[in-house]
Every structure is written in structure tokens, then in C-alpha cells.
Amino acid sequence: MRKLLALLLIMGLVAFTTNYAIAQDGGEETTILEGAAEKLGNAGEAAAETAEEAGDALANAGEAIADAVVPPRKFGHQLLKEYFIQGGWMFMSFVLACLILGLAFCIERIITLNIASVNTDKLMERIDGALRDGDLEQAKEICKSTPGPTASILHEGLKRSGEGLDSVEKAVVSYGSVQMGLLERGLVWIGLFIAIAPMLGFMGTVIGMIQAFDKIEEVGDINPSIVAGGIKVALLTTVFGLITAIILQIFYNYIVNKIDGIVNKMEDASTSLVDVLIDNRSALGGKVKF
């Protein structure tokens, strides 16, 4: 009996020890799992904080890049308008007035000279046909109905045809000088604006430099921003003055070339008129003295 109780006691102790060991092992595993979960949670929070910091850093970098982006440059009339305002309205207004008035005279001369340009060969053929028929008055009417200085000169020569060829030549030369003066009307003003526009620009530059040195004297130190700003404003007037002079000079040369062409045609026509009168003297009879 005692052996049986001892055996049961031993078996109970073994079972209790085994259960305790298993329970202890399970507790240790639970503790390890809880520690691992806690570490994973801390790692997740750290990752979230890192991601948030990275997002903020990217946002700040984007703002810095946006601030560093250079705005697009202006071109055309917008750039000219901006420079015109920066140059100062006082001298810029005078330069602009020179450009507007000079262009007005140029356009007027170009239109007038284009109207004055005629086909001299065709005009002389019509006059030759009328004189061949012996109709001096018809030749005069052809000259009167044709616009331009060439036709006017030929009309004056035909009017003096009854006084002899010498009178015809003198009338053509005298009236040619008058017509040439009319063709060159307005060129003096264009030349004046070409000369005065750069002068106004240089004057604005000198005054701008004086103002820049005045600012340096007030500050008592050479600040590059003050000097650069004053010099920029001063040079803008010179640039606009030179641009005005260049534009007007191009139109001026075109007008002078156009006048030279018309004058050459006038001289050729006056010479041809004498030849036509001589060739048709038989048809004209006593209407022209030779």
C-alpha cells in the first residue's frame, strides 16, 4: 500500500513539474512575441515619422525650386515698353516724339514719290504719237493729265515750243529745279530728327550718370546696385536714341534714292522731248520754231 502511494506521489510530482515547465516555456514565448510586437510598432512609428519628415523635406525643396525658377523673359513690344519706362519719361518722350514725327515725314515723302513715279517711256510714246499727228494741244493735255514732276516739266517745255528749242531747254531746266525742290521737301526735317535723336539720348545718359554719382555721394559708399541701376537707366536713353536714328536713316536713304531715280527720269525725258520735237517738225509745221 505504501509503495502504491509513493508511486502515485512520484507520478503527480512528475506531472506537475512537466506542466510548470510547459507553462513557463509558454510564458517566455508570449513575452518574446509581445516584445517583438512592441518593437514592430516602434519601427512603424519611426518609419511614419521618417516618411513625414521626408515629405516635408520634398515640399520645402519644391518650394525652393519654384522660387529659384527664373521667370520667362519678355520680348517684343512688352520689352520695349518696360525699357521705355525704366529709361525715364522725360528724355524718352522727346526721343519718341522724334521717331513719330520723323516717320510721319518719311511716310508722306514715300507716298508722294510713289505717286510721282510714272512710266517715262510710255509717256514719251503718247506724246510722240500726238506730235506725229501734228496735234500739239493733245500732247499738252497728255502731260497735264499725267501726275508727277516729269509730266509737268514736259508740259512746260511744250508750252515754250513756239519760242524755239532754246526756250524749250531753258524752260525744262528751270522748271526741273523747281520740281526737284518739291521732291526734296521734308528731307531737312528728317535729317534734323536723325541728328537730334542720338543727341537727346546722350544727354539723358549724361544726366543719368550725374544722378548715379549723386546717389553715391549721398550714401557715402559705392554700392554696386545703385551704380548699376543708374548706369542702366542712363544707357537706355542712348539705346533708344540710336534706334530712332537708325530707323529714320534707313527711310531717309530710301527716299533719297527714290528722288535720284525720278530726277534721272526727268533729265532723260527733257532730252527726249527735244529729240521728239525735231523728229516731228514736218508734222508740226509752223507750230514749233527750230
More confident position, 30 or 286: 286
179 and 260 share a domain?
yes
26 and 137 share a domain?
no
Those residues with Cβ within 8 angstroms of residue 46's Cβ, 6 or more apart along the chain or in another chain: none
* Domain carrying residue 48: 1-69
How many CB atoms are closer than 10 A to CB 273? 26
214 and 270 share a domain?
yes
Span 179-207, pLDDT tens digits: 888 888 889 999 999 999 999 888 888 88
Q: Which of 14, 49, 69 is the last residue of a domain?
A: 69
| Domain tally, the chain | 2
Q: Which of 46, 69, 92 is the last residue of a domain?
A: 69
Residue 18: pLDDT band (50, 70, 90) is very low
Per-residue pLDDT, averaged over 163-171, amounts to: 80
Q: What's the residue count for the chain?
A: 290
Q: Is the pLDDT of residue 135 over 60?
A: yes
Per-residue pLDDT, averaged over 264-276, amounts to: 84
**Among residues 116, 134, 110, which one has the least CA distance to residue 186?**
110
**Among residues 101, 80, 274, which one has the least CA distance to residue 188?**
101
Task: Please give the Cα distance from 246 to 74 (Å, whole number).
Answer: 23
Cβ atoms of 190 and 252 closer than 8 Å: yes
Span 43-82, pLDDT tens digits: 445 544 554 554 555 455 445 444 444 445 555 556 666 6
151 and 258 share a domain?
yes
Whole-model pTM over 0.75: no
184 and 230 share a domain?
yes
57 and 8 share a domain?
yes
Q: Which of 69, 101, 120 is the last residue of a domain?
A: 69
91 and 216 share a domain?
yes
85 and 33 share a domain?
no
50 and 105 share a domain?
no
279 and 143 share a domain?
yes
Measured at the alpha carbon of residue 132, what is the angle toward residues 151 and 269, in degrees to the nearest 5? 30
Residue 257: pLDDT band (50, 70, 90) is very high
Span 224-247, pLDDT tens digits: 776 776 677 778 888 888 999 999
166 and 85 share a domain?
yes
230 and 150 share a domain?
yes
